[in-house]
Amino acid sequence: MADILDVAIVGGGPAGQAAALHLAGRGLDIAVIDEQPRPGGQILRQPPASFTVPGWLAGRGYARLKHQLARFEALDDIRWLGGCSVLDLAPTMDGLSLLAATPGGISRIRARHVLVATGCQDLAVPLPGWTLPGVMSAGGIQAFVKSQRFIPGERILLAGTHPLQLIVAEQVVRAGGEVAAILFAQPRAGMIATAMRHPLIALRRAPDLAAAASAMATLRRAGVPVRFGAPLHAISGMDRVTGAVTGMGEIACDTVGLCYGFVPQSALPRMAGARMHKAGPAGGWACAHDHWLRSSVVGLSVAGEALGVAGAAAAAAGGAIAGIGIARDLGLFAPEQAERMARPHRHAFDTHRAFAAMLDSIADPTGHLPRPDAETLLCRCEDVSFETICGAIEQGGSANAIKLATRCGMGACQGRNCEPALLRLLGDVGRGDDPGFTARFPARPVAIGDLAESG
Q: What is the pLDDT of residues 404-432, one digit of tens each?
A: 999 999 999 999 999 999 999 999 999 98
pLDDT at 37 over 70: yes
Half-sphere exposure of 213 (CA within 13 A, CB side): 7
Are the folds of 5-121+263-359 and 124-260 the same? yes
Per-residue pLDDT at 195: 85
Burial class, 217, CB count within 10 angstroms (exposed 0-12 / middle 13-18 / buried 19+): exposed
Q: What is the DSSP string of 231-249?
A: -EEEEE-SSS--EEEETTE
- Quote the CATH superfamily of domain 5-121+263-359: FAD/NAD(P)-binding domain (3.50.50.60)
- The contacts of residue 321 (CB under 8 Å, 6+ apart) are 292, 293, 303, 342, 345, 346, 349
pLDDT at 231 over 90: yes
Mean pLDDT, rounded, for 93-113: 94
CA–CA gap between residue 262 and residue 309 (Å, rounded): 7
Percent of the chain with pLDDT over 90: 84
Per-residue pLDDT at 198: 81
**Confidence class for position 45, pLDDT limits 50, 70, 90:** confident
Nearest to 17 by CA among 78, 94, 105, 84: 78
- What number does CATH give the domain 124-260? 3.50.50.60
With beta carbons less than 8 A apart as the criterion, state whether 436 and 278 touch.
no
CA–CA gap between residue 370 and residue 126 (Å, rounded): 8
Counts for the chain of helices (H) and strands (E), in that order: 14, 21
pLDDT at 209 over 80: no
Mean pLDDT, rounded, for 64-92: 96
Per-residue pLDDT at 2: 63
Q: What angle do CA 41, 265, 174 make, to 5 degrees?
A: 40
With beta carbons less than 8 A apart as the criterion, state whether 81 and 34 touch.
yes
**What amino acid occupies position 307?**
L
Q: Cα-flanking dihedrals φ and ψ of residue 136, to 5°?
A: -140, 170
Domain locations in the chain? Answer: 5-121+263-359, 124-260, 377-428
pLDDT at 290 over 90: yes
Q: What is the pLDDT of residues 113-131, one digit of tens each?
A: 999 999 999 999 999 999 9
**Confidence class for position 172, pLDDT limits 50, 70, 90:** very high
78, β-bridge pairs: 30
Q: What is the pLDDT of residues 272-287, one digit of tens each?
A: 999 999 999 999 999 9
At residue 131, the 3 state secondary structure works out as: coil
User: Higher pLDDT residue, 336 or 247?
Assistant: 336
pLDDT at 149 over 90: no
Please tell me the pTM assigned to this model.
0.94
Nearest to 153 by CA among 131, 170, 176: 176
**Confidence class for position 1, pLDDT limits 50, 70, 90:** low
Length of the chain: 455
Per-residue pLDDT at 247: 84
pLDDT at 320 over 70: yes
Per-residue pLDDT at 262: 97
With beta carbons less than 8 A apart as the criterion, state whether 257 and 156 touch.
yes
Per-residue pLDDT at 108: 95
Half-sphere exposure of 221 (CA within 13 A, CB side): 8
pLDDT at 455 over 70: no
- The contacts of residue 396 (CB under 8 Å, 6+ apart) are none
pLDDT at 437 over 70: yes
Ramachandran category for residue 383: left, alpha or beta (phi over 0 → left; psi -120 to 50 → alpha): left
Mean pLDDT of the chain: 94
pLDDT at 206 over 90: no
- The contacts of residue 299 (CB under 8 Å, 6+ apart) are 91, 95, 96, 111, 112, 113, 114
Percent of the chain with pLDDT over 70: 99
Mean pLDDT, rounded, for 427-450: 90
Mean pLDDT, rounded, for 390-399: 94
pLDDT at 204 over 90: no
**Confidence class for position 454, pLDDT limits 50, 70, 90:** confident
With beta carbons less than 8 A apart as the criterion, state whether 21 and 323 touch.
yes
